[in-house]
Chains A and B, each alone.
Chain A
Amino acid sequence: MDYTIANIAPIVLLPFLAFVIGSFTAKKFPKFTGIMVCVAIFGSFLLSARIFADFVFNQYSADYYIHKTFTWFDLGPTFKLNLGIYIDQMSAMLLLMVSGVGFLIHLFATYYMGEDKRYARYMIYMSLFTAGMLGVALSDNLLSFFMFWEVMGFCSYSLIGFYYEREAPGDASMKAFMTTRIGDVFFLFGLLIVWNVTTQVNGQGSFTFVDLYNVIANGGFDGQMLLGIPLATFAGLCFFMGTIGKSAQFPLQIWLPDAMQGPTPTSALIHAATMVAAGVYLSLRVYPVLEAGHLLVFVSYIGAITAFGAATMALVQTDIKAVLAYSTISQLGFMVLGVGVGNYNAAFMHLITHAVFKACLFLSSGSVIHSLHDHHTGGHVQEMPRMGGLRKKMPYTAFVMVICSLAISGVPFFSGFVSKDRILGEALIMGLKNPVYSLPMVLGFVAALLTAFYMFRMIFLTFYGAPRDQELFDHCHTEKFSFNRNLPLLILSLFTLGLWYSGSLTGQGLVKFPGVENKEWFQTLIEKPDAHHLAKFKNYKSQAWGKVDVKPAIDFSKSHYDPTHGLSAEEAHHAHTLHLYGAVGSIFIAFLGIFLAYLMYIRKSLNPGWWATTFSGWYQTLKNKYYFDHFYIDVLIKKVLFKFQDFIAWVDMGIWDRIFIDGWANVNNFFSYWARKFDDVVVDTIGVDGTGAGVRFFNLVLRTLQSGKIQFYFVVIFLVMASYLLTLRVA
């Protein structure tokens, strides 16, 4: 089947239309709206599945991409803006993931939000969001990428602030939007650089990935400087700032924990599975720029710091969603680390696997929260210290959550192990090869340890042990299986198995699908657009929309799995060995983390209270969230790691958040106080009214001269005349 408007556009348009129609029906027919949205997204899922099938198994699996454009607008010979679709294996995967996970989350939302009075509105926002995210996945160029990206940002804003009756969501939504906005404007600046460079090289500006790759392949960035920085570095930094903002990387991670003010399905869809991952997706898409700008080390540092820092923060959270939020940041850090260490493929793989298990975790937590009512306040309970032993009440949820926690912790046979292990393995290789990378490597491993620990801390606190709030426990209804509550969870948990991603139980090696010879799966499905690969774009031929797909002129025959990674046998062996060590290490770490959690929260042989009392000085102040992170990071990292972590904590909460984000008010007041002062006093009073005042002063002088004394008038006459005539020189 060819790729035409009729079968591509609906992927985005179905949710979008659901949004449009829904915005009219939301008031009158909320139930219908919810169902319509789900159906629409399911439609997108079906279309995506077909693309997925095409690109993984069928006719396009051997082709590298589909790129079709139409002219959006044309401002004459020098300016033409094309929009279009760009589908390669990566976008096919992403589409499938987004629409699939999105559909399941929507399904869950019909349960979770079903009784909310603004249910329908919620659903249509989600629908718009899904449209945006699918648009991102389909975009062939950075501009439409950016536009959809911002649409997602808007939806994120609206959904975080969904409970607008309270102040906190308002703050959180603004914080989220503003923080990501900072990244976004850099992203936009990156766009400008790309446009400029493509104009220089091709004579025609363009935002498309293909052109971007092309330009890089042709060395279009070489030797160009901007503000004293190499242009490629500048562009790469700008794009990576987009990633930092959207994917909540250090130092802009602060918004994501707050974003949990939104309803839980929102957290699952936007702040775990898709939107935040879109940041990583951006990094993957512009990977050649990052590479050309020599930014990978920087990227890996950011990723590692984020992964580690967020994981440490997650350790002490008592709010079940907060744990997951910090965990999300941490996992995103892993993805970015993957990008940074050059394991393109694994980073993307982790994106997908993380999306599945984190969505599932969030939904599970939603299921838990939704079941727990505080009968005093009537609100839902999110605090883990009040939970415990809930597995008896909600077995399905508990089961699913444990599965997913295993996955995220990196236990073998689960997806998290497959992807995370590959990232860590690569980090290990890089770290040993190049000392610059040693820090990210170490941080990565530690973060993995912490991940396992805090996840199981969460599991144990929630589902195991004795109920700590008996009243709450008693009021919790026993979970009954329902299709929109449990089915999505079960389906998602099914996909946390490593087998789906690695094709083998071990997650290593060649995979054989029945009936297809040497069809390989994830590891060779997506190729890193490195220098070798980019050469293929040199003969790029654009395709117009139409019935027939023009296939790219070059042979994009799929590279086979190369066990040596293009290295010499010895190096390959070395690498394999390291990978093996890495795998063993990460398995060990995962179990160590779980074991520690077990000791602490089930066996209680390690008393968490001991830790708390030992560090009671700061533990007490942690009740206040503002100082919590600060204190935590301060002490732990100071003890374990380096001094500059101090700086992180300080910058994060002391400066960044308190002043720059939460303190918008303060900064505003400061700046704008002076701005207003300047405007009122200098410009208005002195500049404008001052002119008026000058005129008025002159007026006063003149009126004083007009004294009413006629003899003075005569003196004026005589003196004026005399002064003229006495200075007169004739001939």
Chain B
Amino acid sequence: MHGLLNYILWLPILGSLLILLIPKEKVNAIRWFTVAVTTVTFILCCILYVNFDQAVPGIQPFTAVSMPWIKSFNIYYKLGIDGISLPMVWINGLLFLICSFSSFDIKKMHKGYFSLLLMLQGSIFGVFMSLDFFLFYVFWEVMLLPMFFLIGIWGGDNREYAAIKFFLYTFFGSVLMLLAIIALYFAAEGRLGAETFDMVKLMGGHFADLKLSLFGMDLPFDKVFFAMLFVGFAIKVPIFPFHTWLPHAHVQAPTAVSVILAGVLLKMGTYGFLRISYPIFPQAGHYFGDFIAWLGLVNIIYGALCAMAQTDVKKLIAYSSVSHMGFVMLGIAAMTTEGMNGAVLQMFNHGLSTAMMFLLIGILYERSHHRWIVTPEGKKGFGGLYAQMPKYSIIFIIGLFASLGLPGLSGFISEALVFIGVFKPYPTIALLGLIGLVLGAAYLLWMFKRMFFGEIIDSCKEYADVNKREMFYMAPLCFLVIFLGIYPLPILDVMKTSVGKLVIDLAKFAP
């Protein structure tokens, strides 16, 4: 089992290079090669899951990979996963498998597309597996490159703007992160005896009482760098007011990329909070707790309000992601067992449900070539799809209700856990957060009503129902959404020990 993470990490990247050897004309070979690579990767992820030992709170020993990379800087190629990263790794494997099927619809430059897709997968794996800060940063940034091109080349009409905005935003945040990483490295010498980029060693609130002189002010070290990391991660989450890249990126990106963006990429931000910000700066985490909780609340309500305004389905779902990620932030900010577990579970569940929604919209877009609920001319963009595409509608309902948090579907448990966790420290926020649930139901159902009910409008009469391939890749998601709604243990069990440890560690530093 040793080195399993190596295989998972490098297989897609290797695949992305190998694809370049396939002649450009052999489109099917390229597609199926991608499918093969993602399938093998997914199987490896499953093996990882099977071998996971729930009792171990920290990094799973069997996954640990560590070798020196840059000796003079103490940079290590260090991988490992724990209960927080495993669900993310797994869903990454799953969503890319699904996306490689969904991407059969891509119309141009197949080779580049699939190559970049695999590279994206590899780099995201890297983010979730890295235990070395430098390595983490490298993967965090590398992920931008394929994403940038995937949006920029295969995206919609306004793709350049979206791609650049996406890149700039993230890059801005990550520059601040880099600063924090290096500063931590040097601070570690005083506190830990040696300079290090090792996340695990840095954890534990060693940097609380350091001072830092910036712009001529004497500032607390940990709070400043917590804030810097916060911006870096908040942009990825995205947290209001750093969220405006998201609607653009989502709307312009091709379906599969939207799926990845919403399903996995956004989680990198919250993962960063759980893996880096909070464990390393627990005191600052407590200090900023109220602030982040309120921001989470703003995210929820604000995202929902914005979603309601949209006439573009994809934009609507994009804003719903903003809203849903707010729940994750809320859960994290609560710093209670329930809240944290809920947050991690919500990361996973939102990955499933929002991926479903984006795939469904992609399927629809294949047929309609537009995404307007109400077209800019004020006409109905869709109408009566329920009658026209019954199977599609059923899947849509599942996705829809999963994302509005219907009990029995996956979203509910995580949201409930988050609220349970949040209530204790922030009852007011919990109460106000409920508005988000109402609004969430409102915009989703309103969208559903406008698109699916009523008579079939003329332009919708041609649309075929979902075909076998689409059914094939939607089915696992439907199954998971329902299954995890009833029986969330497969995910909760693997994460709970790690999350519990995190919560206990954090609690030690409560003021």
* A196 adjacent to chain B (CB < 8 Å): yes
Closest to B405 in A: A150
Shortest CB-to-CB span from A631 to chain B, Å, is: 28
Interface: A676 (CB within 8 A): yes
Chain B residue numbers with a CB within 8 Å of A154 are 401, 406, 408
Chain B residue contacts of A79, Cβ below 8 A = 337-338, 341
Question: In the complex, what's the smallest C-beta–C-beta distance from B360 to chain A, in angstroms?
Answer: 17
A62 contacts the other chain (CB 8 A): no
Cβ of B496 within 8 Å of any chain A Cβ, yes or no, is: yes
CA distance A389 to B227 in the complex (A): 78
Identify which of residues 675-711 in chain A touch chain B, using a CB-to-CB cut-off of 8 Å. 675-676, 679, 683-684, 687-688
A29 at the interface (CB under 8 A from B): no
Q: A189 contacts B434, CB within 8 Å?
A: yes
Chain A residues closer than 8 Å to B430, beta-carbon distance? 189, 192
Contact A165 B455 (CB under 8 A): yes
Q: Indicate with 1 or 0, residue by residue over B450-479, a CB within 8 angstroms of chain A CB atoms.
A: 001111000000000000000000000000
Q: Which interface residue of B308, B384, B489, B500 has the most chain A CB atoms within 10 A?
A: B308
A185 within 8 A of B: yes
When distances are taken between beta carbons in the complex, the residues of chain B under 8 Å from A75 are 337-338, 341, 492, 496, 499-500
Chain A residues whose CB sits within 8 angstroms of the CB of B165 once the complex forms: 688
User: Which residues in B have their C-beta under 8 angstroms from that of A192?
Assistant: 419-420, 423, 427, 430
Nearest-neighbour CB distance to chain B for A262, whole angstroms, equals 13
A174 contact from B244, B245, B435, B446, Cβ within 8 A: B446
**Contact between B308 and A668, CB atoms less than 8 A apart:** yes
Which residues of A have CB within 8 Å of B406? 150-151, 153-154
Interface residues of B in 258-306 (CB under 8 A from A): 302, 305-306
- Complex-state Cα separation, A158 to B448, whole angstroms: 12
Report whether B309 and A226 are in contact in the complex, using a CB–CB cutoff of 8 Å.
Answer: no
Q: How many A-B residue pairs have CB under 8 A?
A: 155
Contacts of B434 in A (CB 8 A): 185-186, 188-189
B407 lies within 8 A of A147 (CB) = yes
CB distance from B137 to the nearest CB of A (A): 23
Which residues of A lie under 8 Å from residue B106 when comparing CB positions?
Answer: none
Interface residue count on the A side (C-beta < 8 Å):
58
Which of chain B's residues has its CB closest to A200's CB?
Answer: B424
For window 398-448 of B, CB contacts with A under 8 Å fall at 401, 406-408, 412, 416, 419-420, 423-424, 427-428, 430-431, 434-435, 437-438, 441-443, 445-446, 448
Contact residues of A between 609 and 639, Cβ < 8 Å to B: none
Q: Measured between alpha carbons, how far is A227 from B430 in the docked complex, in Å?
A: 12
Q: B424 to chain A: which residues have CB within 8 Å? A: 196, 199
B244 near A182 with CB under 8 A, answer no
Question: In the complex, which of the residues B310, B407, B453 contacts A170, with contact meaning CB atoms closer than 8 Å?
Answer: B453
Please determine whether B445 and A174 come into contact, CB atoms closer than 8 angstroms: yes
| Set of chain A residues within 8 Å of B309, measured between Cβ atoms | 668-669, 671-673, 675-676
Query: Which residues 126-177 of A sit at the B interface, judged by CB distance below 8 A?
Result: 143, 146-151, 153-154, 157-158, 161, 164-167, 169-171, 173-174, 177
User: Is the CB–CB distance between A146 and B407 below 8 Å?
Assistant: yes
Residues of B within 8 A of A191 (CB): 416, 420
In contact, A675 and B305 (Cβ under 8 angstroms): yes
- B408, A672: Cβ atoms closer than 8 Å: no
C-alpha gap A169/B453 in the complex (Å):
8
How far apart are the CA atoms of A102 and B338 in the complex, in Å?
38
Q: Assess the B423–A193 pair: CB atoms within 8 A.
A: yes
| B348 CB to nearest chain A CB (Å) | 14
Contact present for B387 and A226 (CB under 8 Å): no
- Cβ contact within 8 Å between A226 and B427: yes
Supply 20 A–B pairs (Cβ within 8 Å), ascending by A. Answer: A73-B492, A79-B337, A148-B407, A150-B412, A154-B401, A164-B384, A164-B454, A166-B454, A174-B449, A178-B438, A178-B445, A182-B438, A192-B430, A205-B420, A669-B309, A671-B305, A672-B306, A673-B309, A676-B310, A679-B302
